Amino acid sequence: MNIHVVRPDGSWYSRPDATLVRDADRFCLPDDCISALACHGRCIRIGKSGKAIAPAFARRYPDGWTSSVLFYGITADGTLTPLLDRATQVDREFRTFDSLEASGQEAALRALVLISRHLSLRIGDFIIIEREEPVPLQRGGTFENIDIL
């Protein structure tokens, strides 16, 4: 499984599946991180493999959606890193793609077309669309009932 994240500015990157955790109640910062950022996302699950998907056919590929939270660590030198354990938190309860509001569906289909131009999408892959710019978190704080340790 692959996890692809689309930022609010339209850029995107991939996270390793080792960062994925379901229904977490805490997030631990490594010692070399001084703080963290977090944001809400909308996770789209891919139900059909494809590459270079045309916009006219994009609706055939997603099979569900759910909410997610993405974490980024900030090191002492100010470097932003998304590659932390448990940094991609996805709700277990997926809803049908058709139950997503129209603007959310359009954003998801645009992201799917964009990413599929560069790499193959496989069954079970996630595309996470950040819904906002990340907000700062401090060690010892909380974010949506998730303790930052």
Please list the pLDDT of the chain residue by residue as tens digits (149 residues). Answer: 899 999 999 899 998 887 887 766 666 777 777 788 888 999 999 999 999 999 999 999 999 999 998 888 888 888 887 767 778 888 889 999 999 999 999 999 999 999 999 999 999 999 999 988 888 876 666 666 565 64
- Using the structure block, give the residue that is written with the tokens 């595309």: 127
Q: Is the dihedral of CA 84, 18, 149, 65 positive or negative?
A: positive
Segments making up each domain of the chain, as ranges: 3-148
d(CA 111, CA 106): 9
d(CA 93, CA 22): 10
CATH superfamily label, 3-148: Fumarylacetoacetase-like, C-terminal domain (3.90.850.10)
d(CA 89, CA 20): 6
